[in-house]
Amino acid sequence: MAKDQDFYDNMGDDVDHPTVDQSLVNDAANHQPKARIEITEQVDHRQEENGETGLYLDKKKIGKLKSQGQQHIYEMAEGFELDNEKIYKKQPQTNKQQPKSYVEGCDMGWC
């Protein structure tokens, strides 16, 4: 059975100071809320006279779908986007301050 020292030596890391991949660290203090909501199910598709399909949300046109042979091209109005065949409405960013910790005055956040 390999000991910790042998394992870290084989990995090229120091037992007392292992390397941390910063891309895997979840820093909740810097979390930004998503700035969009999915509205795919609320969008109506209406065939228009020019052959295009209009995309409507509450009677407001938010985009159109053009067919060019086998290819479909979506054009979305400002404030809306298409991602992985889902339609999203962009939300304005708010600069709401997030708490630095859920519990104040505790040693390293632990009570």
pLDDT at 35: 82
pLDDT at 10: 56
The C-alpha atoms of residue 70 and residue 8 are separated, in whole angstroms, by: 55
pLDDT at 97: 65
Beta strands in 5-96 (DSSP E): 36-38, 44-47, 53-57, 60-68, 71-76, 80-83, 86-90
pLDDT at 80: 93
Is there a contact between 88 and 39 (Cβ–Cβ < 8 Å)? yes
Local mean pLDDT, 10-residue blocks, the chain (111 residues): 55 61 65 77 92 92 88 90 90 66 60 57
pLDDT at 72: 84
The C-alpha atoms of residue 64 and residue 73 are separated, in whole angstroms, by: 8
Q: Where are the domains positioned within the chain?
A: 33-92
Tokens of 85: 């065949």
pLDDT at 70: 84
